[in-house]
Amino acid sequence: MSSTNAIRAPSDTTVTNPLDPAVLSRIDRLELEARLAVEGYLAGKHRSPRQGLAVEFAQHREYAPGDDVKHIDWAVYARTKRYFLKQYEQETNLVAWLVVDASESMGYGSGTRTKYDLASTAAAAMAYLVLQQADTVGLSLVANGVRAVLRPSGQMNQLREACRVMSSGPFPGGGGIARGVDELAGRTGRRGVVFLFSDLLDDVPDILAALQHLRYQKHEVILFHTLDTAELDFPFRQTTLFRGLEGLPEILTDPSGIRDSYLKALHDHIDAIETGCRRLEIDYVRLRTDADLGHDLAAYLQKRHGR
């Protein structure tokens, strides 16, 4: 008789009392993990997260002693034999929106860290990095619509507020990412950078339509695709009870019989999203729960810094 492996479903982590000691402990831990991820890998490597983020050419101005020579427009120099710097619209005040998928599926984790834990820590790390550069950060949790919003602020206590808001998720029940992102796109105000953290378990056309809405609003979008190692590798061998999330039923099945078709469907899904992101000029970054988050964020930011 074959054994049965039950896949852990997320518990209802909706918070009713933000002053609960367990909640405060989680906030402290999240804030600390975010700081360690940033300071352990990024300190001294990136003078500003603005490098390559949400900047659009506005005009030239003449070079003055002390200006950074890397912004000299050498094409203009070749024509005029005078030094001019490129100036960008957003280089004086970056507004970064952190959009975290708080739908029920994000509560899944085959190890010690769920997808929501990973997304929250990554979002907090980016908040810390942006706030360290004296820019502003806002936060939204989305799950079948916008579930929580923290208006942008440049105060360092914004990091703790963001951690407090994120501690209320993920939320039980059905819901995908697309509706919430589309709803949020009309609320974010002037153009900025949107960091989106999600497992993207939604219909691809709906996801891409929501991302296109953000791009239509002139936002630069960085998509962090947050996945669990078991979702990517499908290591199950024995008969397994897969517990449905977001209204889906339970399925008891032999994993070996569905592994190939599952992995093909997953890779097709990921490929379609990556193709859509390239078309929309959106950065696509994959994060997995068993990887070193600080290393992955540093690798991505260094890649952007070198453009």
Residue type, 246: E
Contacts of 224 (CB under 8 A, 6+ apart): 119, 122, 195, 196, 197, 198, 285, 286, 287
More confident residue, 82 or 210: 210
Three-state secondary structure of 263-275:
HHHHHHHHHHHHH
- Which secondary-structure segment (H or E) carries 243? none
From residue 102, how far is each of 26, 143, 197, 262, 276 by CA, in Å?
Answer: 16, 5, 9, 24, 23
pLDDT tens for each residue of 106-123 = 999 998 999 999 999 999
For residue 222, is pLDDT > 50? yes
**How far, CA to CA in Å, does 141 sit from each of 11, 27, 123, 239, 253?**
18, 16, 11, 35, 34
User: Helix %, strand %, coil % for the chain, to 5?
Assistant: 40, 20, 40
Instruction: Render pLDDT for 124-151 as a digit per residue (tens, 0 to 9).
Output: 988 988 888 788 999 999 998 999 999 9
Determine the straight-line distance between the first and last CA of the chain, rounded to whole angstroms.
Answer: 57
Residues 6 or more apart whose CB falls under 8 angstroms from that of 73 comprise: 60, 84, 85, 86
Query: Which amino acid does the sequence have at 163?
Result: C
What's the pLDDT at 16?
A: 37
Residue predicted with more confidence, 41 or 157: 157
| Range from 138-142, 250-254, 278-282 carrying the lowest mean pLDDT | 250-254
Q: Specify the higher pLDDT residue, 164 or 190.
A: 164
> Under a CB-based contact definition with an 8 Å cutoff, are residues 255 and 273 in contact?
no
pLDDT in tens, 38-93: 665 554 444 444 444 444 555 677 766 666 677 788 888 888 888 877 765 544 46
Mean pLDDT of the chain: 79
pTM: 0.75
Percent of the chain with pLDDT over 70: 72
* pLDDT range class, residue 4, cuts 50, 70, 90: very low
Amino acid at 166: M
Burial (Cβ within 10 Å: 0-12, 13-18, ≥19) of residue 53 = buried
Average pLDDT over residues 181-189: 86
Say how many C-beta atoms besides its own lie within 10 A of residue 291's C-beta. 12
pLDDT of residue 192: 86
Place of tokens 């260094």: 302
Task: Write the single-letter amino acid at 129.
Answer: L
Q: Is the pLDDT of residue 253 over 50?
A: yes
Place of tokens 């729960």: 289
Q: Which residue has the higher pLDDT, 272 or 30?
A: 272
Q: Alpha-carbon distance 227 to 282, whole Å?
A: 18
